Structure 1
Amino acid sequence: MKSDMYRPNDVLIEGHRMSNLFNSQDEDWHNQNIRPIRGLWSMTKVLEYEPLIDETIAKFVEKVALKFVDGDNAGTVCPADDWIGFFAWDVTANFSFGRHYGFIDQEKDVDNLITDSTKGLIYFAPISQIPWIDNLLDKNPIKRIGPKPTLTGVLYAFKVVAEYQAQLSNKSITAGSVDHTLDKYLQLRETYPEMVNDHQIVNWLMLSILAGGDTSSATMRAILYYLAKSPSASEKLAAELQNASLPTPAPWKLIRDLPYLDAVIREAMRVNPGIAMIFERVVPEEGFTLPDGQYLPAGTKIGINPAVTNKDYGVFGEDADEFNPDRWFQGKDESNEHFEARSRRMKDTVDFVFGGGGRICMGRYLAMLEIKKLIATLYNVFDIQLVDSKHEWTYRNAWFVYQYDMPMIIRRRGVASQ
């Protein structure tokens, strides 16, 4: 069972705590509430979002080209950390409720959604380690102290649900006519009339709103940064994409099996995972014995940190601290059997950034769809480099990882630098 570290992630609205599918410790409640939507998050179903993702990618590429690449703005420095965040949050909004927050269009953090989300995690990371103190701070019944984790996102979701229902009521739109998440959830009313109300829909939407923008942007920032630090890797990726003759935006069917694209994304997730604190669980009543024979008594809080296991020399080799996409390919003198076993162990380890078991991240397929499509599109169209190849970014571990200070120069692919 999940530990009480997740409790500070509750949102407090009008004096009432609102848990969500991510942080609930009640397995029966979790299973009951996730059952109606689980089938909507298979790879087959999330591919229905591809047109909405394409819409955001096209908007993003056009805006980046206008501001940083073409005409009088050629050579303008792009704060890539900000712009990747703008994309990640806007694409999440588009597939969640069929409209953008407006980050790309307005070129800023609209309504402080990103800022408030980040503050919430900066609060959550330390407070989750002493969760009882949250009752004196954010959940204080007399005066709330500190950031309000997830509140901005929850209130935004309630507003969007109300507006969408009003559109359905006045017949300006028709249910089932679009393929975003909100419409799919509203259609569940027919099957689960006792369960599906505005509160339930917002609870389901929180899966995307809570984590969709932050975790995928962390992975995409890492990809841009490490490729800029590894010219040979960047060139190999560009060559693979050019050989695939991709349109813009890059379609899933043409990129899903590109081996170097996959290796780059896995390696960036490995070196700089989007979550870098442990996923706490509680040892059950019967206790638990580890493979090495060590016994963990009931009630012990345990967990695994992807930022630690992803650097395991026994799994990834002596260069585990280095960014090296080639580790995902078969070595010159490596047998097929050895490579398959090594590859499976590496994949299982890196995939743990999405969690595991019954509480594994449902949005993992959608995250990979979004990330692969954006990276394939960007590196097929543009050459992206740090202003100074020796420049080092900064990053902060607040359970989610936040990276900053990524000044980059973007040029059209095939256009020589001046």
Structure 2
Amino acid sequence: MAQLFHTVVADFISWTQILWLVLGLAITRLSWEFLFSPLKEFPGPFAARFTNIWRVLATLRGHVDFVHIQLHRKYGSAVRIGPNVISLGDPKLIKTIYTTNDPWKKSDMYHPNDVLLNGARISNLFNTADENWHMNQIRPIQNLWSMTKVLEYESLIDETLEKFVNKLATKFVTGSNLGRPCAIDEWLAYFAWDVTANVSFGRHYGFIDQEKDVDNLISDSTKGLKYFAPVSQMPWIDHFLDKNPIIRIGPKPTLTGVLYAFGVVAEYGKDLAARQTGERSMKHTLHKYMQLRETHPEIDDAQIVNWLMLSILAGGDTSSAVMRAVIYYLAKSPVAYGKLTQELNEAKLTLPAQWKEIQKLPYLDAVIRESMRLNPGIAMVFERVVPGSGFNLPDGRYIPAGTKVGINPAVTNRDYAVFGKDADSFNPGRWLQGSDESQETFHARQRQMKDVCDFTFGGGRRICMGRHLATLEIYKLIATLYSLYDIKLVDQDHEWKYLNAWFVYQHDIPVTITRRNFIS
């Protein structure tokens, strides 16, 4: 009995010591935070001062863009969202943080996007923090992604666009299918992904033809981003999940796309060797990359796959997000809908719509820009690391070197000073010249809005190379669809659902599609 008593007392004392130790550490951490932390002057959620778990949970809920918007409106231009992380909301800082010369390095938030293949981590051009490696890798293909070069893909986009509008007609517009509800959110994903494949490889994935997610390419990509978004907020946990060498836990981000690309590159290489490819192969990206081997013999299949992953990783998801936003906001705004269709009527476009005819349609441009502003395809903080000298904010506050900082496009896209007090509303008219506005004032105001809104594609050296391709396919798709069809929500009061998982995924957008009256 005495021995049992002593054991209980000893256990009690040991647990008491542990509790006192934990309490002591907590008090020490609190004292350091409030007295000595170099970031103590930056306001934000209380829990975020001590742990990145706050960021993980906020991201897991799927609406972290609106969380950031509200935080900046409450606390101002600089908000502390982690022990060593500051979210910045001042649009004027975009060109400072995401500069072309001497760029600030990407933080480790991007590392979970690595692919683990045969036990080795494979970085890509999107997630690498090594600026010199990135520059060397990108240099051979940079010139292939100007708008002039991208326009060489227009006929490939037209192929997919014709396939798409014909499929919509068969499924939802003609005969007994007239008036049948269309899940336009799904179909726009099929279109965007098939465009990416046709431009990249000269063939479609088959989403439109088969009317489904072929080989789960889209769902696997979505699962990968649902993993990446929260894990990127506390990236070290990726070592114990997807990159665990014993038991991998997670959806294996980007692996499906990488394996698919390796298969296509190997197959195309065999076709070239056997001279089985026709003239059509000259149009797509893979062929252009293969041609680079003539001047860069060091280029191997792995290098080409790395390049292709730039479009495979983002091409379908970001473009379809903007397309869905355009259709949804137009359905919710009859006035804007009427102005756009009137402009398209008067333009008498060749169909599928051609870039040379639509690039100067002001209301089409305004609708697409406004939709992208309100619902950017990427809506999380693009993290960078403050360089060695530290950084002084315009208001005088100092951010020390090594601090993670960044800007969320969803925040700057709703900046009242840039976009007006109605920045939360869909108003394409803000992109047009006001009746009492001089040409000079309008151009300056429009230039400022474009600079901020274009940050959706990133900035500086790391700006999205595929932005011109995305612009081309979005403008062509919207101009063609609304020249041919009337697209309405099944229920005008219906609200879409969306998930922010780095890319923005909107869903539950049921529409009816009918032919425009003026079409013969």
TM-score bin, normalised by smaller chain: over 0.9
Of 129, 142, 147 in structure 2, the residue corresponding to residue 43 of structure 1 is 147
CA deviations over 1:296-344 (Å, ceiling 9, x no partner): 1100100000111111111111111100100111112222232222111
Secondary structure of the corresponding residue to residue 283 of structure 2: coil
SS in 2 for 1:95: helix
Q: Is the 8 A contact 1:175 1:183 kept in 2?
A: no
- Closer/same/farther in 2, CA of residues 160 and 283 from structure 1, 3 Å limit: same
**Counterpart for residue 325 of structure 1:** 428
Q: Give me the TM-score of the superposition, normalised by structure 2.
A: 0.79
SS, match of residue 67 in structure 1: helix
Q: Percent identity?
A: 71
Match of 2:181 in 1: 77
| Bigger shift: residues 169-178 or 234-243 | 169-178
Contact 2:184–2:510 (8 Å) recurs in 1: yes
Alignment match of 2:514 (pick from 396, 411, 415): 411
User: In structure 1, which of residues 263, 267, 274 is the aligned counterpart of residue 377 of structure 2?
Assistant: 274
Please name the residue that 1:64 is paired with: 168
Q: Does 1:249 align with 2:382?
A: no
Alpha carbons 1:176, 1:184 under 8 Å: kept: no
C-alpha distance in structure 2 between counterparts of 1:348 and 1:290, whole Å: 20
2:341 aligned residue: 238
Give me the whole-angstrom Cα distance separating, in 2, the residues matched to 1:173 and 1:337.
52
Deviation at 1:368, TM superposition (A): 0.2
Is residue 309–residue 349 contact of structure 1 (8 Å, CA) maintained in 2?
Answer: yes
Provide the C-alpha distance between the structure 2 equivalents of 1:178 and 1:338, rounded to a whole number of angstroms.
45
Identify the residue that residue 317 of structure 2 maps to in structure 1. 214
Unpaired runs of 5+ residues, structure 2, are: 1-104
**How far is the alpha carbon of 1:38 from its aligned partner?**
0.3
Q: Which runs of 4+ in 1 moved over 3 A?
A: 174-177
Give the secondary structure class of the aligned counterpart of 1:280: strand
- Give CA deviations for 1:102-146 in whole Å, capped at 9, x if unaligned: 000000000000000000000000000000000100001111001
**Residue 254 of structure 2 corresponds to residue 150 of structure 1:** yes
Equivalent positions of 1:21-170 (< 5 A) are: 21-170=125-274
Aligned residues: 415
SS in 1 for 2:296: coil
1:365-380 to structure 2, matched below 5 A, reads 365-380=468-483
How many Å apart are 1:415 and its aligned residue? Answer: 7.4
Which whole-Å CA distance do the structure 2 matches of 1:183 and 1:26 have between them? 28
Letter in 1 for 2:320: S
Matching residue of 1:399? 502
Distance across 1 between alignment mates of 2:371 and 2:408: 16
Deviation at 1:174, TM superposition (A): 5.3
Structure 2 vs 1, CA of residues 175 and 30 (structure 1 numbering), >3 Å: closer, same or farther? farther
2-structure distance, mates of 1:117, 1:269 = 21
* Partner Cα distance (1:413, 1:302) in 2: 49
TM-score (norm 1): 0.98
Consecutive unaligned residues of structure 1, counting only runs of 5 or more, are none
Equivalent in the alignment of 2:88: none
**Secondary structure, in 3 states, of the residue corresponding to 1:274?**
coil
**Aligned residue identity for 2:455:** F
Instruction: Provide the alpha-carbon RMSD of the alignment.
Output: 1.2
The alpha-carbon deviation at position 289 of structure 1 amounts to 1.9
Aligned residue among 93, 96, 109 for 1:5: 109
> Is 2:392 the partner of 1:289?
yes
Cα deviation digits, residues 21-43 of structure 1 (max 9, x gap): 11110011000000000000000
- The C-alpha deviation readout for 1:70-107, integer Å capped at 9, x for no partner, is 11111010000000000000000000000000000000
Give 1:175 deviation, angstroms. Answer: 8.0
Distance 1:337 1:187 in 2: 46
Q: 1:224 to 1:315 in 2, by over 3 A?
A: same
Say yes or no: does 1:337 pair with 2:440: yes
* C-alpha contact (below 8 Å) 1:53/1:94 kept by paired residues: yes
Q: Kindly indicate whether residue 338 of structure 2 is the aligned counterpart of residue 227 of structure 1.
A: no
C-alpha distance in 2 between matches for 1:242 and 1:167: 45
